[in-house]
Amino acid sequence: MIEVQGLTKLYGTLEAVRDLSFRVAPGEVLGLVGPNGAGKTTTLRSIVGIVRPTTGTIRVGGHDVTRDPVAAKRLLAFMPDEPHLFDYLTVEEHLRFTARLYGVADVDRRLPALLQELELSEKARVLPGELSRGMKQKLVIACGLLHDPRALLLDEPLTGLDPAGIRRMKETIKERARQGAAVLLSSHLLHLVEEVCTRVLIVQAGRKVALGTIEEILVDRPDLRGRSLEEIFLALTGS
Amino acid sequence: MIAAALYLVRRSLVNATRHRVARLRQPKYLIGFVVGCLYVYWLVFRPQSGRAFGSAVTPAGDVWGVGVLAALVVFNWIFGRAETPFTFTLAETQYLFTAPLTRRQVIDFKLIRSQLALLVSAAVSALFLSRGLLGGLRLFHVVGLWLVYATLQLHYGGVALLRATLTQHGASGLRRQLVTVASLGTLVALGWWSLRPQLPGLVAAFARDPAEGYAAIAGAMHSGLLGVLLWPLEALLGPLRAPDAAAFAARLPTALLVGVANYVWVVRSALAFEEAAVEHAVKVARRVEALRQGRALGRPLRARKAHGLRLPRLPLAATGAPSAAILWKNVVAAMRDASPRTLILVGALIIGGSLVAGGGPTGGREVLATILLAVGGIALLFGPLAARFDLRQDLEMLDVLKSYPVRGRDIVRGEVAAPVVLLAGIVWICLAGGLLALAGRREADVLTTGDRFAILLALLSTTGAILAVLVLVQNAAVLLFPAWVTIGRNRAMGLEAAGQRILMTAGSLVALSVALLPAVILGGLVGAAVQAAGVDTAGTASAGAVAGSGVVVFEVALAVHLLGDVFDRLEPGALGGG
């Protein structure tokens, strides 16, 4: 579903990502981990089409993100770490606006259930300025899930959520994967990655350090066998 | 404490200056800085006539100075807020209120820190008030103004603390108002009682010569009970109004005495003001954030939240062109930004004002037409600059916009359409209203209904085309030169920012001229051809305007297409925020 081939992104002379290649199949949850400044967010933003790769190709559902961005983005949902919302649209209006852009014809039918699921029903006609950080995050999630995306990109998805919200978010990720969505999850919370991800991609300074299941990664580093993902991560990145 | 405050002031100033100087290496800041300097030079030092600051020493200056100061104080007593003793930043509340400091030390810290800003304000004010007459710009004007500003700051703080104290003691809003209004009412009544016997003489003096009238008022202000009441204001203004250094030195102690009295009042206030200050800091931070996100100045959206009724409820169909969704979003934003109360007030003022000014049915219609056409003209020329609910605001959300499955040209189309639609609505209503109002005039009867329709058609199409170009030019500037344009409403400050804005405005005017040139040529040709065919003037104008507008529509469509490609290539890193 998500295919990244030879992705390189330069900001002037700064090499944010260098020759990165990976795939995320339908039903798979790939954890993207790395130290600060490793290029995780740049990778996600390149896949979403917010920034253009300097070289390399990115395909979502077979559509080239650079050449056919509209078709590729229609299959995607991106949930950034900071909830960016239009200050002057209510919760419900955000959802209707998103539905229109993604062509969700049955938004009237979906909306109540989605609001209920994310505990936003009471806040439907409230503006973002009156929402807590967690509520804003939930609204971003609701907007992302509205069009049943086939590929989910999540950047620190648990930030600001309460314990119940965290549990629900984890369930949502797993459920979407079970339904066939490809999920790419970037997080510093290694226990989350360990819990929900089927494979892990470790990056450092824009380069791939390791990719695969924990078992596959340990094939090259048998000395790390029996260690937690946190210890493996620290050992591989030399942190 | 004083050392810590001075350290913070010194380091902040040094670091801010270093930052500003360092960024002058970038051409956009250097060029902006040079243009800004030239602009200020022209503004301040261009040859002007008048006595400038020197007029402050005349009786008229005395009357106006004391009057303005009294008005400021009274206004603050009546409309000031309880929760604003001093404007602490969030960082200040976090560091100062958790530090082992006494309340007096915190107040001292804040006062010391704010003095630099007040001094700069005083220097700038003195510079402008001197109208570039360097001889008139003396150090004591700056110091005098600084004393006024600093004392007003203290006084406002004292008033706010008093209000907060009353609140803490359970006085409701109405009772607080009653206390202040009653106190002020007593003072005003005493002043009036003192002034009343002298009124006939003052009126007679004014009738003979305004200068004599001002001298008479100034004399009344310095004598009797009124003199006692106004003495603090007179004393405070004394150094500022001093004609020479000796007078300044003589008047300085009494002015300082007024300042010190206010300081003692603030420091000795019985209220623990920390809670109010913290609460206010949070509010200010929210207000700043709201401004950054493009909301109206200091007007929290919370107050207008809907429980359904007060928010606009524009429907949005679930499917259709994405550009229409962008248009819908921005129209909703514009409607939320505009207070219905303000619109009603403006409408009532226009209609009421025209009726009163007209003085009769026919005159009223003419005045109404004039005002409507003037409002329409202002909306046409300045609306595209002021109405920023398009890419100038939304580019702050570039990440979000770019993640949507929408082509750049659709986004640009929707963004540009919003101000055009709303401003065209205003301009066209004004035009139609103005022409309707004029239709009743007897002289207007020479125009047939067809003529009127033709003129209206010409005006509607022309104004629509001009609006489209003006809005498009603004959006093109932000897309093509994102680092040069202020994005959102977080206005950049400083000489370089002012210079950048001047350059962008000049560039926009050039672009506007270029865009309108083909339309004017084709419209002129069509008009000439129609006139040659024997059509009357109204019909000729209408045909030319429609043809010219058609050219503009084509240009705008082409530009939107091209700018869409620019949007698709634009990356968040290119935004410099002006």
Tell me the pLDDT tens digit for each residue of B134-154: 455 567 788 888 999 999 988
Note which residues in 26-55 of chain A have CB less than 8 A from chain B. Answer: 45, 48-52
| Residue whose tokens read 């623990």 | B272
**Which helix or strand (DSSP H or E) is residue A186 part of?**
strand A182-186
Report the pLDDT averaged over residues A102-123: 88
State what percent of residues in chain A have pLDDT above 90.
39
B408: closest chain A residue by CA: A70
Same domain for B277 and B358 = no
pLDDT for B423: 93
B398 contact residues in A (CB cutoff 8 A)? 50
For chain A, which residues make up each domain, given as ranges? 1-75+151-165+181-239, 83-148
Question: What is the CA angle B259-B260-B262, rounded to 5?
Answer: 65
A&B contacts, CB < 8 Å? 106
Q: How far is B488 from chain A (nearest CA, A)?
A: 12
Looking at the fold, whether B247 and B193 belong to one and the same domain comes out as yes
Kindly state whether residues B495 and B379 are assigned to the same domain: yes
Structural domain total, chain B: 2
Residue B341 lies in a domain: yes
Per-residue three-class SS string for B460-524: HHHHHHHHHHHHHHHHHHHHHCCCCCCCCCCCCCCHHHHHHHHHHHHHHHHHHHHHHHHHHHHHH
Are A52 and B571 within 8 A, CB to CB?
yes
A168 touches chain B (CB under 8 A): no
pLDDT at res. B280: 59
The pLDDT of residue A57: 94
The pLDDT assigned to B353 comes to: 59
Same domain? For B281 and B400 the reply is: no
Query: Are B220 and B333 contained in the same domain?
Result: no
Q: Give the whole-angstrom CA distance, residue B169 versus residue B156.
A: 20
Residues B373 and B424 in one domain: yes
Q: Is the CB of residue A14 less than 8 Å away from at least one CB of chain B?
A: no
Which chain A residues are Cβ-neighbours of B390 within 8 angstroms?
Answer: none
| For residue B18, pLDDT beyond 90 | no
**Mutate: best of A85, A92, A101, A102, partner B, most B CBs <10 A:** A101
Residue B575, classed as helix, strand or coil, is coil
The more confident residue out of B485 and B32 is B32
Nearest to B42 by CA among B132, B106, B127: B132
- The verdict on residue B42 lying in a domain is no
Q: Which of B304, B400, B409, B567 to mutate to test the interface with A (most CBs of A within 10 A)?
A: B400
Q: Does B402 touch chain A (CB under 8 A)?
A: yes
- Would you call A21 an interface residue with chain B, using a CB distance cutoff of 8 Å? no
Question: Average pLDDT in the B550-573 region?
Answer: 91
pLDDT-derived band at B356, boundaries 50, 70, 90: low
**In the prediction, which pLDDT does B418 show?**
93
Would you say residue A11 has pLDDT above 90? no
pLDDT for residue B166 is more than 80: no
Q: Tell me how close the Cα of B319 comes to any Cα of chain A, in angstroms.
A: 5
Does the beta carbon of B407 lie under 8 angstroms from any beta carbon of chain A? yes
pLDDT at B455 over 90: no
- Model pLDDT, residue B522: 92
Give the pLDDT mean for B413-432.
Answer: 92
> Hey, what are B296's tokens?
């109206």
Report the pLDDT value the prediction gives residue B14, as an integer from 0 to 100: 84
pLDDT of residue B568: 92
Q: Is residue B300 part of a domain?
A: no
Task: Give yes or no: residues B99 and B191 share one domain.
Answer: yes
Write down which residue in B271, B286, B301 finishes a domain.
Answer: B286
> Are B295 and A126 in contact (CB < 8 Å)?
no
A88 interfacial to chain B (CB closer than 8 Å): yes
CATH number given to A1-75+151-165+181-239:
3.40.50.300
Beta-bridged to residue A186, according to DSSP, are A32, A155
Q: Name the pLDDT band for B17 (thresholds 50, 70, 90).
A: confident
Q: What is the mean pLDDT of chain B?
A: 78
Q: Per residue in A143-166, pLDDT tens?
A: 998 889 999 999 988 888 888 888
User: Has residue B214 been placed in a domain?
Assistant: yes
- Mean pLDDT in residue range A29-58: 91
State whether B319 and A103 contact (CB < 8 Å): yes
Per-residue model confidence (pLDDT) at position B45: 67
CB A206 within 8 A of CB A38: yes
B306 and A90 within 8 Å at the Cβ level: the answer is: yes
B255 shares a domain with B341: no
pLDDT interval class at B81 (50, 70, 90): low
Instruction: Please give the pLDDT value at position B326.
Output: 93
Contact list in A for residue B404 (CB cut-off 8 A) is 73, 101-102
Please check whether residues B383 and B273 belong to one and the same domain: no
Do B201 and B343 reside in the same domain of the chain? no
- Kind plus residue range of the DSSP H or E element containing A143: helix A133-145
Question: B111 or A106: which carries more pLDDT confidence?
Answer: A106
Residue B295 forms part of a structural domain: no
Higher pLDDT, residue B489 or A79: A79
Closest Cβ opposite residue A50 in set B333, B403, B405: B403
3-state secondary structure B338-404: CCHHHHHHHHHHHHHHHHHHHCCHHHHHHHHHHHHHHHHHHHHHHHHHHCCCCHHHHHHHHHHHHHC
B395: closest CA among B316, B510, B501, B476? B476
- Say which residue the tokens 């400044």 belong to: A37
Closest-CA residue in chain A for B327?
Answer: A97
Q: What is the pLDDT of residue B290?
A: 53
pLDDT of residue B177: 63
Q: Does A25 touch chain B (CB under 8 A)?
A: no
| CA distances to A228, B315, B425 from B311, in Å | 52, 12, 20
- Judge whether B302 is closer than 8 Å to chain A, CB to CB: yes
Closest CA to B559 of B514, B521, B526: B514
Pair B240, B349 in one domain: no
Residue A169 has pLDDT above 80, yes or no: yes
Q: Distance of CA A38 to CAs A189, A202, A211, A232, B534, Å?
A: 15, 9, 15, 17, 75
Q: Does residue A181 register a pLDDT over 90?
A: yes
Among B232, B264, B286, the domain boundary falls at B286
A56, A16 contact by CB (below 8 A)? no
Q: Which domain holds residue B454?
A: 322-574
Best of A41, A47, A73, A100 to disrupt the B interface (most B CBs within 10 Å) is: A100
Closest CA relative to residue A149, chosen from A140, A159, A161, A158: A140
Average pLDDT for B426-431? 90
The percent of residues above 90 in pLDDT, for chain B, comes to: 18
Q: Give the model's confidence band at A43: pLDDT under 50 very low, under 70 low, under 90 confident, else very high.
A: very high
State the average pLDDT over residues A173-200: 90
How far is the C-alpha of B384 from the C-alpha of A34, rounded, in Å?
A: 46
Nearest to B404 among A52, A101, A129 (CB): A101
Mean pLDDT of chain A: 89
| pLDDT for position A55 | 93
Quick check: B400 contacting A, CB < 8 Å?
yes
3-state helix, strand, coil in chain A (%, to 5): 40, 25, 35
Which residues are registered as beta bridge partners of A199?
A30
Does B174 score more than 70 pLDDT?
no
Answer yes or no: do B318 and A50 touch at CB < 8 A: no
Model confidence band, residue B419 (pLDDT cutoffs 50, 70, 90): very high
Q: Are residues B151 and B265 in the same domain?
A: yes
Q: Is the Cβ of A215 closer than 8 Å to some Cβ of chain B?
A: no
Which of A63, A88, A127 to mutate against chain B (most B CBs within 10 Å)? A88
The answer to whether residue B547 scores a pLDDT higher than 80 is yes
| B316 to A93: CB separation less than 8 angstroms, yes or no | yes
Contact status of A63 with chain B (Cβ, < 8 Å): no
Q: Is residue B26 part of a domain?
A: no
CB-nearest to B325 from A11, A80, A101 is A101
Q: Is the pLDDT assigned to residue A6 strictly greater than 90? A: yes
In the structure, what pLDDT confidence band is assigned to residue A46 with cuts at 50, 70 and 90?
very high
Which chain A positions have a beta carbon within 8 Å of B400's beta carbon? 84, 86
* CB-nearest partner of B399 from A50, A97, A126: A50
pLDDT in tens, B563-578: 999 999 888 876 654 4
Q: Chain A: give the shortest CA distance to residue B160, in Å.
A: 27
Sheet holding A29-33, edge to edge: A76-79, A151-155, A182-186, A29-33, A199-204, A207-212
Indicate whether A72 pLDDT > 80.
Answer: yes
